[in-house]
Amino acid sequence: MQRLAHAGASVRAVVRNPSGDVAGAAVIQADLLEVATLAPALAGIKSLIHCAAITADHKEPFPGAYRRVNAEGTRNLVWAARRAGVEKIVLLNGLGTRRGSDRSYMRTRWEMSEAVRNSGLPWVALQPSILFGDRAPYPAALARLARQFPVMPVLGGSRRLQPLWVEDLVSCLTMAAGSSQWDGRSIDLGGPDQLTYREMTKLVMDTIGVHRPMVPLPPSLARVPARVMALLPNPPLVPATLELFDFDNVTQPDVVEETFGFQPRRITDHFLANGLDG
C-alpha cells in the first residue's frame, strides 16, 4: 500500500474486519461472500489487486471455507468488478497452482485463477514461491517450531523451494498493476536461491541460533497429526498445507530479472543482515 501511495496512486484497502488504519490507504469494509458490500468498495477503482484468500497454512474457519472464500469469493469479486467498471485485475496466487483433485485445497486456488482469467477484463496473475522478510509466515513458523520442540520435523525433505523477498514481490505487483506489458499472463516467481526444505529449515535455525536434530517426516505420515492439530485454535500444521509438499516449489532462478528487470534479494544475504524480518 505504501509503495503504491508513494508512487502517487490513490489507494483503497478493502478489509473484512477493520482494526485500524492501513498506512497509505483509505480503508473500506467489505466481504467477498457478501456481494452487496463489494459495489461501494470498488466504486471508482481502476486497478484491483486481489490477494484476499485463505492460504494453506490456515485452518478452515468453517467446513468448505477454502472453496467459498477462494473460489466463490473471487467469482463474486470479478462480477462486482465488471459492474463497477474496474479496468484491470492483478491476482496474487501461488507458484505451482494447478487444477488439483476435487475437494482439494489446490482446486480452490486454481478456481481463483480461472475466475480472473475468464473475467473478460485485462488481468495478470503473480504466483510466488514461499516468501521471506517482514511477517512472512513460513520462516516464522519454522522458527516457532524450533523454539518449542526438542526435535525439528522436516516435511518435504529434498523437495525444493525458491524463497522470494516480500519487498521484491511488492515491486513486481506495483509494476504489473501499472503497465499492460504483462497482461494475460500467469507468472511464477521466485528468488535467486533454490533450497531444499531441509536446507531451508537449517538456515532458519542458524539464523535464530537454535539448533535441533532434524527428523524427516514424509507427508504421508503427517496426515493424521495434521488432522488432529487442525482441531486446535491456531494449529502449526493443517491438512491443506501438506498439498504444497507434493511438488518442487520452484521456477527459473532468473525469472524476476528476466521478467521485471531487477535482481531480487538472496535469502542468505537478507537473513545475515536482518534476521528473519525486514
- Alpha-carbon gap, residue 98 to 205, rounded angstroms: 32
Q: What integer is the mean pLDDT of 94-99? A: 94
- Alpha-carbon gap, residue 74 to 80, rounded angstroms: 10
To the question of domain 31-274 being in CATH 3.10.310.70, the answer is no
Q: In angstroms, what CA-CA distances link 230 with 113, 160, 174, 236, 238?
A: 26, 25, 35, 8, 5
Strand partners, 49: 90
Q: Are strands 185-189 and 47-50 parallel, antiparallel or unpaired?
A: unpaired
pLDDT at 135: 85
- For the record, the C-alpha cell of 237 comes out as 500444521
Q: How high is the mean pLDDT of the chain?
A: 93
pLDDT at 4: 67
pLDDT at 1: 58
Checking 101-107 for CB contacts under 8 A at 24+ apart, the result is 104/243, 105/56, 105/66, 105/239, 105/240, 105/243, 106/243, 107/67, 107/71
Interval 130-148: pLDDT, tens: 999 998 999 998 999 899 8
**122 — pLDDT class (breaks 50, 70, 90):** very high
Q: What integer is the mean pLDDT of 182-188? A: 98
Residue 194 pLDDT > 90? yes
CB 143 within 8 A of CB 155: no
Residue 231 pLDDT > 90? no
